[in-house]
Each structure stands twice: as C-alpha cells, then as structure tokens.
C-alpha cells in the first residue's frame, strides 16, 4: 500500500531545488482557489495529500507528487494572479511561475484550470498565451462544473472555445468536477496519451 511519503516527492520555490527525475511531468496552473490541489488529489485517488483550502493562496510552493504506479510526476503550482496577497507578492509568485516552468525537465503536458462558474478572466488568457509558448500539449480543465446548471453547460463550452480560441488554433478542454468526478477519466486518458504510457 502506498503511503503519503511514497506519493509526495518534494516542495520547491526555485528550479535548482526541483527533484532530479527521468519521469514525465504534468504541471497544473490556474488562479488561486480554482481547484488545482483538489484535482491533483482526485487524480491521485487521495483525499488531502495536496493541501486544499476554501481560502485562496493555500499552495505557496511548487509541489511534486506521484501516482501509486509512479508512472509520472504531477506538479502542483501556487495560484497565479492572486490579488489579496498584495501586488508585490503576487508579482513575485507570477514571476516564479514563469521562470521555473522553463526549467521543468521532462514536462509533457500542461493542465490549465479555469473556474467554470465565472466569466473568463484576462489573467487566464494571459497565462494561456504564456503557457502555450512553453510548447507542450495544453489542456484546459474547466473546474467546479457541478456548480453549473445543466442547461448552461453547452453555453459554457462555447464560451471556453471562443475565449481561449483567440490565441490558439484548437482549444483542448474538459469539463471537470472533483465532486462528481466528471471529466476525471478523460483527463487521465489525456495524461497517459501525452506521457506516452
């Protein structure tokens, strides 16, 4: 039985402290409170290995995790564009994200999370552009869709395609929920595909 120690690798705030590994990596980005750590726990089949909180700004370091089969690493980033920490701290975190992504060796996929309950935010479009330039497959995970009325889901899909399609030829996205587990199998399948497993 895998325990916490076997599934948590390390925390880092600088690229020099990234763990050395030959495993493929999938990294998770999104605004604070969008549900990154929750989604990682769901993919890991763990309740609270990645610490989550209803208060934004919970994850402050870059955390590396392993699934039970240790086939790849999941990289949980602090949230970008988080206003409440103050302008200079926010810029520091955003800068840390932008500089360290370049140094994530074996990065095979980027999952960008956007909150399905609210309109598209400019900071999400800015980060979409930046993350696309990293040049690895990019999946948009629309989160908290359990809170979206069923009758509004197709409207939500059209909005994601339109807004995020301004910057790329083809938007890849999945509607997800860690509550109902919507989209989790599809996300797992995409991860397997991009890591070539």
Q: Which two tokens stand for residue 38?
A: 């929750």
144 near ligand GTP, rule: CB under 6 A: yes
34 near ligand GTP, rule: CB under 6 A: yes
Using CB under 6 A as the binding rule, the residues of this chain from 62 to 91 that contact ligand GTP are: 78-79
149 near ligand GTP, rule: CB under 6 A: no
Closest residue by beta carbon to Mg ion = 59
Residue 11 has φ and ψ, to the nearest 5°, of -115, 150
Residue 89 has φ and ψ, to the nearest 5°, of -65, -40
Of ligand GTP, Mg ion, none, which one does residue 88 interact with (CB within 5 to 8 Å by kind)?
Answer: none
Which residues, 6 or more positions from 135, have their beta carbon under 8 angstroms from its beta carbon?
Answer: none
Question: Total residues at the site for ligand GTP (CB under 6 A)?
Answer: 24
| Cα–Cα distance, 75 to 72 (Å, whole number) | 10
112 near ligand GTP, rule: CB under 6 A: no
**For helices 153-164 and 122-133, angle between their N-to-C axes, nearest 10 degrees:** 60
Q: Which residues bind to ligand GTP, rule: CB under 6 A?
A: 30, 32-38, 52-54, 56-59, 78-79, 143-144, 146-147, 177-179
């Amino acid at each position: 039985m895998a325990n916490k120690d076997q599934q948590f690798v390390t925390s880092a705030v600088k690229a020099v402290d990234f763990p050395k590994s030959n495993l493929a990596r999938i990294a998770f980005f999104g605004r604070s409170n969008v549900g990154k750590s929750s989604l990682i726990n769901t993919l890991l089949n763990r309740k609270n290995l990645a610490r989550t909180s209803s208060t934004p700004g919970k994850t402050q370091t870059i955390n590396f995790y392993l699934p039970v089969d240790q086939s790849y690493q999941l990289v949980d980033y602090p949230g970008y564009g988080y206003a409440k920490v103050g302008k200079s701290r926010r810029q520091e975190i955003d800068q840390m994200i932008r500089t360290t992504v370049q140094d994530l060796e074996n990065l095979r996929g980027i999952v960008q999370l956007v909150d399905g309950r609210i309109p598209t935010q400019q900071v999400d479009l800015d980060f979409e552009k930046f993350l696309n330039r990293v040049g690895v497959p990019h999946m948009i995970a629309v989160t908290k869709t359990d809170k979206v009325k069923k009758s509004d889901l197709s409207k939500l899909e059209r909005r994601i395609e339109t807004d995020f399609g301004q910057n790329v030829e083809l938007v890849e996205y999945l509607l997800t929920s860690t509550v109902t587990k919507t989209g989790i199998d599809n996300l797992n399948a995409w991860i397997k595909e991009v890591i070539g497993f």
